Homo-oligomer: A and B are copies of this chain.
């Protein structure tokens, strides 16, 4: 079936976001690309922010799906975790404006985005729990360990996007490098704790 106006608006907004960043997303241009008048969006969304929230929610849902697919792979726990982190990095670097939008400042509470984010977070926590039981991540609160991992990927990617990461220097600290470094140190920390116990 042909996509409805609402979906056309969301897609057009996402395209404009990729092409020219958030400032390029005008309700008028979005409407034009969807083939409707410049105020038709108000029949589908409360305002511009509600449309952007729909784009963000869709994006977050997609990220959660790739995490879920990884879980079904049944590869080694640390590889699964590293793959999830890499998906996060690739997604953010490929669609920086979408990434910035998803984690941007929302003035109104966006229920749909919050639910999608919670769902993705739950899947990530599952991966972290598995890795903990396999002994490649330190034991301790799962949510907190998952938050530590998400903080590195998220921070590394955001710094890279704003040019505040020393990629040029001898350090060559790409987001992937930093994730690998953290995973390595966490595995060492987990191993040290095990040895102390046994």
A interface list, Cβ under 8 A from B: 21, 96-97, 100, 103-107, 114, 117, 121, 138, 140-148, 150-156, 158-159, 161-166, 169-173, 175, 177-178, 181-182, 184-186, 188-189, 191-193
Bound-state CA distance A117–B162 (Å) is 11
Chain B residues whose C-beta falls within 8 Å of the C-beta of A162 in the assembled complex: 103-106
Contacts of A143 in B (CB 8 A): 166, 169-171, 173
Question: Does A142 contact B121, Cβ atoms closer than 8 Å?
Answer: no
Number of copies: 2
Main secondary structure of the interface of A (DSSP, over half): helix
Which of B96, B159, B164, B189 is within 8 Å of A188, CB to CB?
A: B189
Known: A121-B166, A143-B166, A153-B155. A182 touches B105 (CB 8 A): no
Q: State the CA gap A143–B177 with chains docked (Å).
A: 12
**CA A158 to CA B154, docked complex, whole Å:** 8
Contact A114 B148 (CB under 8 A): no
A107 to chain B, nearest CB (A): 8
- Do residues B173 and A144 form an inter-chain contact, with CB atoms below 8 A? yes
CB–CB A172/B189 < 8 A: no
Q: A145 vs B184: C-alpha distance in the bound complex, in angstroms?
A: 13
Chain B residue numbers with a CB within 8 Å of A181 are 140, 144-145, 148
Q: Which of B121, B140, B172, B173 contacts A148 (CB 8 A)?
A: B173
Contact A155 B151 (CB under 8 A): yes
Query: Could you tell me if B103 and A171 are in contact, using CB atoms closer than 8 angstroms?
Result: no
